[in-house]
Structure formats: structure tokens, C-alpha cells
Structure 1
Amino acid sequence: MTLYDFTGQTALVTGGTSGIGREVALQLGAGGARVVVIGRDAERGAAVVKTIVQAGGLADFVPVDLADAAAVAHLADEAARLGDGHVDVLVNNAGVFPFGPTADVDLNTFDDVMAVNVRAPFALVSALAPAMVERGRGSIVNVSTMVATVGMSGMALYGASKAALQLLTKAWAAEFGPSGVRVNAVSPGPTRTEGTAAMGEGLDELAATTPAGRASTPVEVANAIVFLASSAASNVHGVTLPVDGGRLAV
């Protein structure tokens, strides 16, 4: 359920088959958007589409490996085609987050992380923002992380990739904002998703360092993303909104 109206809009959500991205896709669908759900798992993608459609919405699943530059280029064209020629909302949610000591990171892993977390969002914005500019409207929301701001052992590569995305958020806001296209970001803290399940007790230990003292749910993070994508945030440009239980306050 969403409080915001996206009727007549097309929204592209990367990493939309699980966790935060799935909740964003469901909320945008409930708000009337035609949702293009991006991911690698066809079964999970079909399940998200089915949920949106059964609730009366419109949705399509496009399987894409965001580490593949050619596939990302094709994705932009396919999303516009599915959206009757336009994409109004872009949510760059997909990300990979291998943790570990810097000395253990090989160059292939480095390249894969940068390809998914930085290159893919850059390519999608490069492909889709100009048409938003021509229409004089559009919203882009990038999903970062609190470790882009807070240095943590074992998270150098992941944090650096998302710090780059936060800087891109500011630069794109300056570049596209004068033409009516808003660009913002959300910075989640510890969040309980399928992807973070492998952290086990480590997730709760990290969450215990926040004033809230608990991990966020995917819905809580999605609420912030959908707000920034909506007209309710009509004069919000270039911000990174923390949804981290107050971790940046301590």
C-alpha cells in the first residue's frame, strides 16, 4: 500500500525481485505505476509481477545481469518500450556487497562490484535521463548504504562503490534538476533481507550500535525510496536520506 499517486508513470526498479527492491516495486505498483522489475531470478521476478497484477496493477519482469554492459544498454531501450516510450521513475536499487579484508579482494571481484554498483546506474541514468529532461519531469532514486559514510573494516570496496553513487547523486541533481528531473538517494543501515541473511548474528550486532537498536525492515527502507520518487518530494534534490536507525547520529 502506498500513499502516493504514480498513475500513468513507468517505473524501473533494479534488484526488484527481493528485499528492498521488491517492496519498492509493490508500492509503486499499488500507486498506479507500470513497474518494470529487473533481476536475475526469473521465478522470483514472475512472483513479484504476479503480486502486482493480482492487486490490479501493471508490471513486467526483465531478466538482466547488470554486470553485463551490453545487457544494461538493451535494458534501457526495453524499459522505454514497455512503458509506451517513457520511463518516469528510475530506482537504482541493485547492488552486490562482498565483505572481507582488502588484501583478499581480487581484481575480478573489484570489477564486478564496480560494474553493478556504479557502472550500471551510470549507464541507466545516461540512457534514460535525457528523455526525462525533454519531458521536463522524472525522478531517480539511488540506493546507497551507511558504510558509504561510516568507515568499517571489511567493507572498503562496497562502501567505496556506494560513496561513488552518493557523489553521482549530487552531480546528477545539479545536472538534471534545472530541467525538472529530481535525483536523490537513500542510505539504509542494517536491514533484514534475503541478501543480508548470510550475516547471521552479525546483522543484529551491527544494528545494536544504532540508537534504534534494531535492523530495519525492507518496507521501512522502501517507504523512504517511494517518498523521494513521489511528487510529495517535489522540491527535494540531491539529498541522501539515511534510513539507518540513527547510526549517523552517534
Structure 2
Amino acid sequence: MKRSDKVALITGSTGGIGSETARLMAAAGADVVVSGRNAERGAATVRSITDADGRARFVAADLTDPTSLRRLADEAGTVDISVNNAAIFPGSPTVDQDPGTLDEALSANVRAPYLLTAALAPGMIAKGAGSIVNVSTMAARIGMPGLSVYSATKAALESLTRTWAAEFSPAGVRVNTVAPGPTRTDMVLATVGEEGAEQFTKTTALGRLAAPREIAEVILFLASDRASYLTGATVAADAGRTAV
């Protein structure tokens, strides 16, 4: 990317993988739209970009609210890159799952990227180019106790990747997914704790957690012209967890 050549919208970019992706996109020359619910954290992400001579702005959005999503799409305008990163990470055995949390996760993890993509894709199609990157999880491919809702929503997102690739790629818009393995983010640590996170490391071929930046690098690659022949793909960035 050349400076000011691309506009990139990243949902859930006030921390973790999202904020690292925003910083990498900006460093690669994109004008970045940082989005999330927490304005203070959003401002911190924007500041980290502008302090490094990048370009970014924050647009608040609640992904469980369709009206807020529509406003986000309108304020973002025509974008070249859309990263559907924001998600709710509920952890509960199926028999104990709270119905309200189930509905919230379906709204944030499936309906939100669906509606946002439906709003943004026409602008990309009109330009004849664009890249959509969905962020899934290794749990969409392997059964993990307590993650029934999260894994199901991410499996749905991977299915949407394939459908959107079939619909949009003939117009020059690529759609791909990155499926991270265990990553050291606040959301993961808040859900499973430090001990639980360390247990995850024993299941990977590399024997460690990912740093958020490592996943962000894969997202940047999929969004960039370096991945120009990739569409409809799900890239496992999981230290070999789903392969060995």
C-alpha cells in the first residue's frame, strides 16, 4: 500500500488483534477507521497511529445494534478494506448457556459482519476492487468444551466467507478468513485466565500463545495486494493446532 492509497475499516480495533491490525494497516499507508464501543480505548489506538505519522479516526459502534452499524457504514464511507474482527466470546457449557448471551453473540458475531458487509460491499464492487477479511477461530474446526456458541458463530462466518467470495470476487472483491489459535488478548485471558491460556499452549505444535501482532500480520497480508490470488480461503494461524 502507498500512503493514502487505501481506506481500511477494522471493527473491534480498540485493543488486542484489532488494534494491532489498525496500527499495521496505518504503517502500510492506509487511512484507518478504528471502531469499537469504548471511545477512550479507541482514542488511544488512534493516538498510537497518529503519533507514528499515520492517519486514523475513531467511529463508535455497537455491533449488536443494526442502527449503530448503519451509522458506522455511513461514517466510514467507501472503504477498500473491511476487517470483521469484533466479536463476543462467551464461554459456557451448552446446558448452562444463557439465552440472552446466545442472542448477543449471534448478533455481534454473525449478524453484524453480515449487515456491515452488505452495506460496504457495493462501494467496493463499484470500484472493481476491495478486500474483506473475517476473523474466525481454530474452535470453528475442532470441538472445544464450553465454546459451543463462539465456535458456531465463527463457523457461520467462515461459511459466509465462501459465499461472499462466490458473490463478490467476479467483481474484483476478495474475501478471506484468518482463523487464529490461542492468542494473548485481554478477552481470552478474561475468559479462561492465565492458567487456562497456558493449557492451550500445550495443544499447539509451537507450544506457545500467539502475540496479537502475529495474527495482525496475517490479516494485513490477506488484505494486501500480495494476496491478490487468494479468495474464499481460511488461513489457519494457530501454531499447527488444527493440522497436527
Q: Give the alignment's TM-score, normalised by structure 2.
A: 0.97
The whole-number CA distance in structure 1 between the counterparts of 2:130 and 2:60 is 24
Determine if contact 2:13/2:35 at 8 Å carries over to the other structure: yes
Go from structure 1 to structure 2 and tell me whether the alpha carbon gap of 1:234 and 1:29 turns closer, same or farther (over 3 Å shift). Answer: same
Q: Are 1:35 and 2:32 matched, yes or no?
A: yes
Matches within 5 A, 1:3-14: 4-5=1-2, 7-14=4-11
Match of 1:217 among 211, 221, 240: 211
- CA deviation profile, 1:182-208 (whole Å, cap 9, x unmatched): 000000010001111222211110121
Determine if contact 1:7/1:31 at 8 Å carries over to the other structure: no
Q: Are 1:245 and 2:239 matched, yes or no?
A: yes
SS at match of 2:242: helix
Indicate the residue corresponding to 2:89 in structure 1. 97
- CA shift, 1:103, in A, is 1.3
SS at match of 1:247: coil
- CA shift, 1:6, in A, is 6.0
- Code of the aligned partner of 2:100: N
- CA deviation profile, 1:100-155 (whole Å, cap 9, x unmatched): 11111122111100000000000011000011011100000000000001011111
Unmatched 5+ stretches in structure 1: 81-85
The whole-number CA distance in structure 2 between the counterparts of 1:221 and 1:119 is 23
Q: Percent identity over the alignment?
A: 53
Equivalent residue pairs, number: 242
Determine if contact 1:40/1:65 at 8 Å carries over to the other structure: yes
SS at match of 1:139: strand
The whole-number CA distance in structure 1 between the counterparts of 2:3 and 2:208 is 31
The whole-number CA distance in structure 2 between the counterparts of 1:155 and 1:212 is 23
Indicate the residue corresponding to 2:222 in structure 1. 228
Q: Give the alignment's TM-score, normalised by structure 1.
A: 0.95
Match of 1:110 among 75, 97, 102: 102
Go from structure 1 to structure 2 and tell me whether the alpha carbon gap of 1:164 and 1:15 turns closer, same or farther (over 3 Å shift). Answer: same
SS at match of 2:125: helix
The whole-number CA distance in structure 1 between the counterparts of 2:133 and 2:201 is 24
Q: Are 1:144 and 2:141 matched, yes or no?
A: no
- Code of the aligned partner of 2:218: A
Go from structure 1 to structure 2 and tell me whether the alpha carbon gap of 1:6 and 1:90 turns closer, same or farther (over 3 Å shift). Answer: farther
TM-align CA RMSD: 1.0
The whole-number CA distance in structure 1 between the counterparts of 2:242 and 2:147 is 17
Matches within 5 A, 1:59-208: 59-80=56-77, 86-198=78-190, 199=192, 200-208=194-202
SS at match of 1:196: helix
The whole-number CA distance in structure 2 between the counterparts of 1:6 and 1:189 is 31
The whole-number CA distance in structure 1 between the counterparts of 2:9 and 2:235 is 20
The whole-number CA distance in structure 1 between the counterparts of 2:203 and 2:19 is 27
Runs of 4+ in 1 over 3 A off after TM superposition: 4-7
Unmatched 5+ stretches in structure 2: none
Go from structure 1 to structure 2 and tell me whether the alpha carbon gap of 1:6 and 1:97 turns closer, same or farther (over 3 Å shift). Answer: farther
SS at match of 1:35: strand
SS at match of 2:25: helix
Determine if contact 2:60/2:72 at 8 Å carries over to the other structure: no
SS at match of 1:141: strand
Indicate the residue corresponding to 1:57 in structure 2. 54
- CA shift, 1:5, in A, is 4.2
SS at match of 1:150: coil
- Code of the aligned partner of 1:210: T
